[in-house]
Chain A
Amino acid sequence: MPDTHGPHLIRGARPLGGDPVDILLADGLIAEIGTGLTAPEGAEAVDGEGLVALPGLVDLHTHLREPGREDAETVETGSRSAAMGGYTAVHAMANTDPVADTAGVVEQVWRLGREAGYCDVRPVGAVTVGLAGRRLSEIGAMAKSAAAVRVFSDDGICVSDALLMRRALEYVKAFDGVVAQHAQEPRLTEGAQMNEGRVSDRLGLPGWPAVAEEAIIARDCLLAQHVGSRLHVCHVSTSGSVDIIRWAKARGCDVTAEVTPHHLLLTEELVENYDPIYKVNPPLRTDEDVRALREGLADGTIDVVATDHAPHPVEAKETEWSTAAMGMVGLETALAVVQRTMVDTGLLTWADVADRMSAAPARIGRVADHGRGLAVGEPANVVLYDPAAPYEADGAAMVTKSSNTPFRGMTLPGRVRATFLRGAPTVLAGEIK
């Protein structure tokens, strides 16, 4: 757990990439913003020169693996990894063992997050009991628990039954909740291993057609509009999905969507050598899809970047492709990948990044005290990011307990230098506290 702390005076950082200012963090709040601030007694100075200051990032989609797969990640190691990536709040997905489908499990995860103290851990509740897609879990109990769950998802498995999905969308309205759908038509993806197309056909790997994602998204948008509910679409990965969500928003559907950093950068050609480090659900797609996802994120069709941080032990990836686990770690590389794909390409400003990675996810997850502006009186959830610190990504050097990064060996443009959670440094001078 981070140490107790006094005030911190950040010198010369650039809020949202703007002009350099000093930012004083005291008593858990942003106390002062200005040039040439005088440090109060006992304040620790933080050199912010050249660093972009952003509100603490909020992840809508994180797998912390506890309870059940503590060999891959724990709430503590995962929230340390999150802090290292600039996050001050994460949503912990429900596909644990036992599944987070009761108030007891979500409260356990929430409490473990509080004890670790590196970021606010917001448990996601399962939509159906045991993620089995048969009957609704006790959504109300989870919403009213100490964990105050607002996001419900069977992530990893699609709520494919249309009637059950309708009921879930309707039911969560009572708690201002949202259903986050993993859009994957199960019959069209039986045994699927990678994106269906030229590469899968050549490699002899069963294909995962784009339509399996798009058909569910279209159905869910229509359902959500029919019953007047909020729908969130997890990890959108195809060009067609972006089109459908753009269309649904235009006709007034209350839908939001996320894209992962890896789907903004990587394509299916990486599968050529059958290295399962590139195996993920939904699969890596084509160049055309990557372009559409970037455009969708830029024009607001896609609301947020979410990591889908999915740690796995080494042995789950050091195997033949078809038996390997799906997923990639992503918390510590997300901001750098967004810089490379969206900021350095001129598609997003840093203010837009703050929206897509902090304000919008906090709004969708109903996370109070996160995703707010960098203004006096706001909670001191702040990340300082160096956009000119290129380095070679290396899973073994990461804080997460696992090392399955698809960016290994790639040069990423920048690094998080400091993260503050309610004024407490969880990362300082580029080191986890």
Chain B
Amino acid sequence: MRHLLSTGDLTRDEAVLILDTAAELAQVGDRSVKKLPTLRGRTVVNLFYEDSTRTRTSFEIAAKRLSADVVNFSAKGSSVSKGESLKDTALTLQAMGADGVVIRHGASGAAHRLAGWVDGSVLNAGDGTHEHPTQALLDAYTVRTRLGRLEGLRVAIVGDILHSRVARSNVLLLTTLGAHVTLVAPPTLLPVSVHTWPCEVSYDLDAVLPKTDVVMMLRVQAERMHASFFPSVREYSRGYGMDGARLDRMPRDAIVMHPGPMVRGMEISAEVADSPRCTVVEQVANGVSLRMAVLYLLLGGS
């Protein structure tokens, strides 16, 4: 593995190796001195074109726990905001000797393009509406930690599939790992070719929940509400929001996940969000271990 651009590029063995490595590295977080010397002398650049404090911080902590030198290159307040092209920024980082670049960008495919312009490893931290591979990996890691396995599990992903990079990465990864995925959304928020994806599709959340081990809720962004994807927030919430009654409809040990940030009262009720069956906080903690694993496997080799 040189880059991590899409979960679709991972074989089952590679994906399992990442999860196993994350499990080992998670123990570092439990120690009083949370640091390993593995990436000492290596430079990781966080290149963030979109504001995402939580993802950037997670990557930053992960790299620092492995003793890498971390530089945050934010699009705001740098030459990027003065119109420097992604290519020139890439060449600049290359010249400064970046061993790894973690990129978050609003354009689908930006990480692919960057990988063509730098020698170092590129880690896709979310590109437009394309993919968010480390989110899917930390989700899989969280499921495995909670339920002990992925093979054969029934996972429902609920919400704005059409615009979700999390959904794309999760469908590919979960399928590779042997889980059965069902996408649940109003038809307006599903891609037109979704019937060709390796998963089931349903418009009816209530029908899906009783046969679901894991439900992943997606955030619905404010701009969708004014573009006729659904009539009103209330109607969306009634059809596709997760509340206590729906939680009761699921098997007893089933869990509810959310990549954050949550919109309480829209896609998830406070009752569910604060329930012990909701893994939101665990996902954040696991994110650090998982990102340590990916950085270690991409950069630790030489």
Is B a genuine binding partner of A?
yes
The distance in angstroms between the C-alpha atoms of A202 and B6, with both chains bound, is 11
CB-nearest residue of chain B to A315: B85
CB of B99 within 8 Å of the partner chain = no
Residues of chain B within 8 A (CB-CB) of A320 are 86, 105, 107, 109-110, 113
Residues of A within 8 A of B269 (CB): none
**Contact yes or no, B109 A198, CB < 8 A:** no
Give chain B's interface residues, CB within 8 Å of chain A: 85-87, 105-110, 112-113, 127-131, 165, 168, 191-194, 196-197
Verify B192–A207 contact, CB threshold 8 A.
yes
A-B contact count (CB 8 A): 63
Q: How far is the CA of A322 from the CA of B192 in the complex (A)?
A: 20
Quick check: is A319 within 8 A (CB to CB) of the other chain?
Answer: yes
Residues of B within 8 A of A198 (CB): 193, 196
A204 with B108: CB separation less than 8 A = yes
Residues of B within 8 A of A318 (CB): 85, 87
Total residues of chain A contacting the partner, CB 8 A: 23
Please state if B128 and A204 are interface contacts (CB–CB under 8 Å).
Answer: yes
The residue of chain B having its C-beta at the shortest distance from the C-beta of A314 within the complex is: B87
* In the complex, chain B residues whose CB is within 8 Å of the CB of A322: 106-109, 128
Contact B85 A201 (CB under 8 A): no
- Which of chain A's residues have a CB closer than 8 A to the CB of B85? 315, 318-319
Which residues of chain A are within 8 angstroms of B110 by Cβ–Cβ distance?
A: 320
Q: When chains A and B are docked, how far (Å) is the Cα of A71 from the Cα of B105? A: 29
Q: Known: A196-B192, A319-B87, A322-B128. Contact between A202 and B108, CB under 8 A?
A: no
Given contacts A204-B127, A319-B86, A321-B113, contact A274 B192 (CB under 8 A): no
Interface residues of A in 249-287 (CB under 8 A from B): 273-275
**Docked CA distance A138–B22 (Å):** 68
Bound CA span A206–B106, Å: 13
User: Is A323 in the interface zone, CB < 8 Å from B?
Assistant: yes
Contacts of B113 in A (CB 8 A): 274-275, 319-321
Let me know if A242 is at the binding interface, CB within 8 A. Answer: no
Measured between C-beta atoms, what is the minimum distance from A132 to chain B in Å? Answer: 24
A-B contact pairs, 30 of them (CB 8 A): A193-B108, A197-B193, A198-B196, A200-B191, A201-B191, A201-B192, A201-B193, A203-B108, A203-B130, A204-B108, A204-B109, A204-B127, A204-B129, A204-B131, A204-B168, A205-B108, A205-B129, A207-B192, A274-B108, A274-B113, A275-B113, A318-B85, A318-B87, A319-B87, A319-B113, A321-B107, A321-B108, A322-B107, A322-B108, A323-B107
Return A189 CB to nearest CB of chain B, in Å. 14
Q: Which 4 A-B pairs have the closest CB atoms?
A: A274-B109, A204-B130, A201-B191, A204-B129
A327 CB to nearest B CB, Å: 18
Partner of A204, one of B87, B165, B194, B197: B165
**A 305-328 binary contact with B (CB < 8 Å = 1; else 0):** 000000000010011111100000
Cβ distance B175 to chain A, nearest Cβ, rounded Å? 13
Known: A201-B192, A204-B128, A204-B131. A274 touches B112 (CB 8 A): yes
Residues of B near A275 (CB, < 8 A) are 113
B86, B107, B131, B197 interface centre (most CB from chain A within 10 Å): B107
Q: Which residue of B lies closest to A318 (CB)?
A: B87
Interface string of A188-217 (1 = CB under 8 A from B): 000001001110111111110100000000
What is the minimal beta-carbon distance from B100 to any residue of chain A, in angstroms?
19
Question: Which residues on B sit within 8 Å (CB–CB) of A319?
Answer: 85-87, 113
A206: chain B residues at CB < 8 Å are 129
Given A203-B109, A320-B109, 14 more contacts at CB 8 Å?
A: A203-B108, A204-B127, A204-B168, A205-B128, A205-B130, A207-B192, A274-B112, A274-B113, A319-B87, A320-B105, A320-B107, A321-B107, A321-B108, A321-B109
